[in-house]
Structure 1
Amino acid sequence: MDEKTSTPSKIIKNKLQSKTDATRLTLIRAGISVFSRKGYDGASNRLLAKKAGVNLALISYHFGGKRGLYFAVIRHVSHKLGVRFAPALKKIESEFSQLEQIETVEKQRDACLNMIKVLLSANLDLLLNRQTASWAMLVYREQQLPSKAFSLLYNESLASILSALEKPIAFVIQRKVSDPEVKLLALSLLAQVQLVRSARHMLLQHMGWETLSEPEVMQLKNYLSTQVDTLLSLRHHLPR
């Protein structure tokens, strides 16, 4: 078959592939919306198809059923989280590798504390972003009622965030990265940020806030910064 004959066939194939990819993405986006609001059990195939605006049979055709779609949704969100956090993680990795170039230990500690604050702030911004609110709700649901997809979520996004926190924490409190104290501190600090999602309405009610606008967000970030300084300073002075 010559090149002229094969070209139309290739164009048709590419168009069909593009249409397939577009349908899969539409279903995944619908899945993010529905699963985040309804959970896995509360999301029916009919509801998912209606949200996507596609034929019900396409869920089985593209994903083998609701379970396959759910895994695709978690994989998609994990990838998006990885992309979103990549700049902050790369910056921390670079700064931490150059830590020895800073002249005093005290300034090195300050640099590490700043790395932690930057990463927590980035996490807070993501949780408060309306465009990523459904991602955050899915992550929250998976932490509360983990499915078999949780390992995927943890390994492809959450683990890298915790690991990035553990390195500067370990330096500040003068422990090994593998020390349980370091791991628990990383979890504790990240959990404080996730309070914005997991206990949002209680936070607003208790603080007397109508919404989380810029002044309130700044107050939260200042509080987190103080918490990092206080908590890690206390741990730094505790006996091993």
Structure 2
Amino acid sequence: MPPRRAPARAGKHEPRVRGAADGDATRQRLIEVALDHFGRRGFEATSTRTIAQQARANISAILYHFGGKHGLYIAVAEHIADFIGSRVAPLRIQIEAALANGSVDADGAVRLVEAAVARMTALMAEPQTEAFARFIVREQQEPTEAFAVIYDRVMGVMLPLLRHLVAIATHDDPASETAGVRTITIVGQLLVFRVARAAVLRQMAWQEVGPSQVQAITAIVQRSARAMLLTARAENTT
């Protein structure tokens, strides 16, 4: 009979676990505060001291967790990419599987594009994406290493998949300019509701983009995308 092990000493590893958890929480607070500041003020105008104060952390924590201001900026971009990537992952996996086994016909491609529209509209209505949009718009205007992080992990993954679906739906070549423009046009119809949020709310007399607004946006953009794809298919088959 194997010897009985002595009972574990209560709390033996608690300080280390608690310390790691506290460190993770501090790191996350720094990222969330930095996201707001970088998005509103840009990299140069943002004060790391202010970020640390608002995150209830010592300024040395930025050096410890990120190696400095630039590392914090890149960590914010990674946070955005990870969040969006997790939200679109089920749809991405579904599209990749369908394309890999060759089971997508033209009508199926249209339905998957419509599913992508629904997923992206719901994502843009999430409160966190307001701060994301400010950061991303700045990077769109003056791209840095942070833009490469977001593009490579999210945009550069999803856009080619959507472009492939658009090409299948319209009997086109995925590498063609027309397939690319149609894909960007569909995505652009959704992005305006996030990047031009103030104008949209005022024009529509909405107080917010809530569930009913998301439903309306999704339905109309889906119909618009379907009409464009079916029209293009008819043109390409004549």
TM-score, L = length of structure 2: 0.84
2:50 aligned with 1:53: no
1:112-123 mapped onto 2 (5 Å cutoff): 112-123=109-120
Tell me what 2:24 maps to: 21
Q: Please report the RMSD computed on the Cα atoms of aligned residues, expressed in angstroms.
A: 2.5
Aligned residues: 229
Distance 1:16 1:214 in 2: 40
Unaligned runs of 5+ in 1: 103-107
- Cα deviation 1:68-99 (Å, max 9, x = unaligned): 10001111211121111101111222344455
Q: CA 1:238–1:132 in 2, change beyond 3 Å: closer, same or farther?
A: same
Q: Quick one: which of 80, 83, 86 aligns to 2:83?
A: 80
Query: Residue 10 of structure 1: CA displacement?
Result: 6.7
Distance 2:225 2:79 in 1: 31
Q: Quick one: which of 106, 110, 131 aligns to 1:109?
A: 106
Distance 2:100 2:64 in 1: 47
Tell me what 2:228 maps to: 231
Query: Residue 238 of structure 1: CA displacement?
Result: 3.4
2:186 aligned with 1:189: yes
1:60-71 mapped onto 2 (5 Å cutoff): 60-71=63-74
Look up the equivalent residue of 2:39 and give its one-letter code.
S
Distance 1:132 1:77 in 2: 9
TM-score, L = length of structure 1: 0.83
Structure having the larger proportion of residues in helix = 1
User: Residue 51 of structure 2: SS of its match in structure 1?
Assistant: helix
Query: Residue 239 of structure 1: CA displacement?
Result: 5.1
Query: Residue 134 of structure 1: CA displacement?
Result: 1.9
Q: CA 1:24–1:201 in 2, change beyond 3 Å: closer, same or farther?
A: same
Higher alpha-carbon deviation: 81-90 or 10-19: 10-19
Unaligned runs of 5+ in 2: 1-5
2:138 aligned with 1:138: no
Identity across the alignment (%): 25
Look up the equivalent residue of 1:44 and give its one-letter code.
S
Tell me what 1:105 maps to: none
